[in-house]
Structures are given as structure tokens and as C-alpha cells.
Structure 1
């Protein structure tokens, strides 16, 4: 907790340390005093827009994955649909390159091959007839040359028709297929980005949490990156303690603490997670014995296990070493 409220709470904690705690009566005095602090999750959308809906309310509890709010998504949905169509087109073009010509085109080439075969049969028969006539000296050599040329022509046309049929069954060249694959990959990546942008405009709760605050109302314009909902997960509630310099020997990271506060459940415990490297409230001078009595260290501790209902931030607490009789 920071700012004015944090300063007030720090002052109250120091005052409690100086005057003692009402819990100290009838038992060992507390090891330290402090307060509850929350680490909030402030959920925002990356793009500006009008707040369409806000299905959560202050003080409500939400489960992980529960919808929190929706920013106007008309433009983002249109962009997603456009990129989805572009991906479908890229995939269709890739499939077309891999399948060769269409059946109708293959049928045309097959018919041309049939015609070439018929022409070759005729020219082959005519060549044989002219060879026989020339041998009998009934026909001229010129007609034999014409028949031989026609035969060679028809043979070449048949070979061409067969080659065209073979090519029609082949896919596109390797370079074309590679380019088509890259186009599909780019279209897929663009669609993933569009889906992500669409999801970011309708965020869900990352964890189960308490809705601490809602900062906009439906119909209002929300700037890009501006938090709309503030969440407080139970596991992100910690204790901020102020341990006297004389008691620091008993406080190390991981040590257990017993916790008591107004309205808290009995048997509450915590574990030290962080100890400040520098003391507070006393200027950096040579300390006398009297000044050391006012020297405190900021210590953070995590309540274990996290209570079903998070402790209210700002709530004063007192702690004892784990197992100490109170």
C-alpha cells in the first residue's frame, strides 16, 4: 500500500509499536504490529473503445475464467472475419496447386489424345499403302513422301497430347508450392493475432478473486490500457509488519508467525516472505541505545493457507512467533 493511506497506516503501526497492543494483556507481547496489504490485479483492454457490458459488481466473487467486461468488438470481429476469409482463400489456392488441372480440362486433353491416335492410325495405313503402290510402280514417290510426312506429323501430335495429359496430373512446381505454403502460414498467423485482439477486448478473470472495484460503467469510453476491473485474489493478500530491531534475530525468511486481528478467524498463521534490507523511521546516523529502540524493519508475510475470504487491506494485525502462547 502506498501514498497517503500507506503513510497513515505506517504511522499507526509505529504508534502501536510504541504504546503496545491491547492483545498483549494477559500474555506475551506481540512480536510486531502491522496491517494487511493487497496486491491487486487491474484488468485492462489494450485497445480503446466503448464499454459494452460489465457482468461483475463490486464485492462479488468471480471464478477463474469468468467474464469480466466487454469492450466494443465490432471492428475487431470484422477484421477477424476478413482474415479468416483470407486464410480460406490461401488454403484453397494451395490445394489447387497440389491437385493439377480440373477434371473438365483433363477430359479435353483426353479427347485431343483420342483424335491424335485416330489420325496416326489413318496416316500409318496411308503410308503403308503408298509404300506398296510405289513398289508396284503404280504411285509416284512424291505421294509416298507426303504420306510419310503426314505419319510423322500425326505421331508427333499424339506424343504431344500424351505429354499434356501427363503434365495435367502433376502438381505445381516446388517453388510455387513453397510460396503457397508460406502464404498459408502468414494468413494463419494473422488470424491468430486477430483472435487474440478479439479475446483481449473481452477479458476473463485469470484466477478466482474478489472484485475490489469497477472503474467504468457500460456506455462509457475506455482509453487503451485503462483498468476497468480491479481484482484481489486471496493468495495475493499479505501482511506488512514492523519488527523492532531488537527482535530481528527471531525473524528470518520462511519463519512461521501466529496472527491475530479484529474479526479474523482464530488460528490464523503466516510465513515471512521478505525482509527489508534497510530500517525505517530513523535517519542514517550512529545509533545510540535509545534510538535503536525506535528502529524497525519492514517485513512481509503470506497468510497460509489463504483464507476463503481475503483479509481487508488496511486491517491492523499483531503477530507472535509461531506457537507462542497468547
Structure 2
């Protein structure tokens, strides 16, 4: 049985292992172009071509006089709205409460006088010394003075309270709106002086102080180290063995060899890729492949020729 199995195994075709594929490629950079969403005069540039900047470092600033004044106006409006809201939660001032209390004391004194007058008129009317009309007038005066005392007592209680809940809710809405307006004003002001989104090399400064910059127009172009990638082109027969995440080796003139990881494989074929002009490959289909540094960013300059070795499988 064993000789038969061995014989059958001998009949199976040997699995061929492809040789490593040596290709020519180049480094390419994905630039971050920083501008402002607002137009304005360029007031200051903090960097120059070739500088290395850290994340958060200032890059440039547009003239901000108008935006700063607008922000200060919104801040003042917010402070006024907050003060009004705080005032609605309080009662009347002490002097106002004192004035109400004094009017209430006067009304109580008038009530005591009208009650005493009513008693005298009642006695006189019983003895037929006063008319019924005078008695009715005294009774009306008492009712009037009692109503005045009740009104002032209610006014004093109300003065101790704050505003009505609906008034407070409306003012709270105004305060919230002013806070949002202040956030927008702060954002517009910050947009006039953007900072570096990441550590990078300044590739190009496009404007100089005093020049007018249109809204959205880049002022500085940055190249973060992680935005450098390898670009090479794989022949169609070897494409099936290559997957995103595979490792490739690379090297260049007078630089240490390194390893990159395949991050992109084109879905459509091309003919001879840029910067490769060999007659042998001119009529062959190739696919664009991109790779990025594995352990660290690629220490390459955009446009730099690179030799790439794709391991055989």
C-alpha cells in the first residue's frame, strides 16, 4: 500500500514557488494644504519652506480686527443676557421692598381710621343722629381700605419672588443662543490663525504678508511623515498573489533598506506606469500598488526612485 501512495504522490505536479519580483517604484507624498475658510489680508507667516513643525504649531494669521471686534460684541451681549437672567431669579431690591411696606403701612392706617369712622356712624345712625347715607359711605370706605391693604400685601409677596417660570425659560433660551454665537465667533477668529494638524515638514508657503487670500485658498502646504508612500506597478500575472497587508522590501540609493506594507491595490489595469520606460514592459498590463511604512513612517522624499522587492509565493 505504501509504495502505491508514494507512486501517486510522485505523479502530482510540484508546487512552483515564484521568484521574488524586483520592481522599480517611487515615493509619493499626500500633502495637507492648510487655508482659512474666511478671506482676508495675510498678516503674518510663522513658517518657511522646509521647516519642521510640531502638531499645534502656528502657521499663519490673517488680519483679525473685524472678527475680533465681532467676537467682543457677542461676548458683551452674552454677559448682558446672563445678567438679565440672574436678575429674573431675584426679588425686588431692598429699597423697592421698603417702599411697598411703607405704602402698606399707610393703607393699614387708613383702614383703621375708616373702621373707627364706621363704628361712630353706626352708633349715630342707631340714635338717629346720622343719616343712612353717611353710614353707607363709611362702610364703603372700610371695604375700599381693606382691598388696598390686601393689594399691597400681595404686591409685597410678589416682590419677594423672582420672575415667572416662562419669563425665566425665555431668557435662558436667549442666553443659550448667545453662547452659541460666541462659540461661532471664537471659531471664526481661530480659523484666521490655523495651526498644524500634525507634525510635518513645510513643503511650500504660497503667500506673503500683505497679500489678499481668498476664502479656502491654501496658504501653506504640509507633508506629515505618515503621508509618504511607495508607489510601484505589479505585472498582471503576479497580481493574484499580492494582498493588502503583505510586506514588501524596498531600498534606494545610499539609504538603508526597509520594509513597507501594501495598503492599496488598484482595481483597474494600466499600461507602462510613470517614470518606467523599459521597452519590455511597454505593452504589458500592470496594476498600481501603494505601500506605507510598517513600524515607522517612510524616510523618503516624494519623487525619489525606489527599488521594491515583492516576495515570491
TM-score by length of 1: 0.80
Equivalent residue number for residue 281 of structure 1: 271
Residues 33 and 243 in structure 1, CA contact (< 8 A), matched pair in contact too: no
**CA distance 1:30–1:264, shift in 2 (3 Å):** farther
**CA distance 1:263–1:48, shift in 2 (3 Å):** farther
For 1:263 and 1:231, the matched residues in 2 are separated by: 26
Residues 86 and 187 in structure 1, CA contact (< 8 A), matched pair in contact too: yes
For 1:292 and 1:51, the matched residues in 2 are separated by: 49
Q: Cα deviations across residues 53-101 of structure 1 (Å, max 9, x unaligned)?
A: 1111221111111111100000110111111112222222333333343
Equivalent residue number for residue 293 of structure 2: 303
Equivalent residue number for residue 93 of structure 2: 102
Equivalent residue number for residue 6 of structure 1: none
For 1:158 and 1:51, the matched residues in 2 are separated by: 71
CA drift of 1:47 comes to 1.5
**CA distance 1:34–1:278, shift in 2 (3 Å):** same
For 1:88 and 1:55, the matched residues in 2 are separated by: 34
Residues 20 and 310 in structure 2, CA contact (< 8 A), matched pair in contact too: no
For 1:101 and 1:301, the matched residues in 2 are separated by: 73
For 1:59 and 1:30, the matched residues in 2 are separated by: 35
CA drift of 1:140 comes to 4.8
What is the number of equivalent residue pairs in this alignment?
287
* 1:151 and 2:142 aligned: yes
Equivalent residue number for residue 294 of structure 1: 284
With 45-54 and 257-266 compared, the bigger mean Cα shift is at: 257-266
CA drift of 1:225 comes to 1.4
CA RMSD of aligned residues (A): 2.4
Residues 36 and 238 in structure 1, CA contact (< 8 A), matched pair in contact too: yes
- Within 5 Å, which residues of 2 pair with 1:1-326? 30-135=21-126, 139-266=130-257, 268-281=258-271, 294-307=284-297, 310-321=299-310
Partner SS for 1:279:
coil
TM-score by length of 2: 0.83
For 1:313 and 1:68, the matched residues in 2 are separated by: 22
Partner SS for 1:32:
strand
For 2:142 and 2:290, the matched residues in 1 are separated by: 100
Partner SS for 1:31:
strand
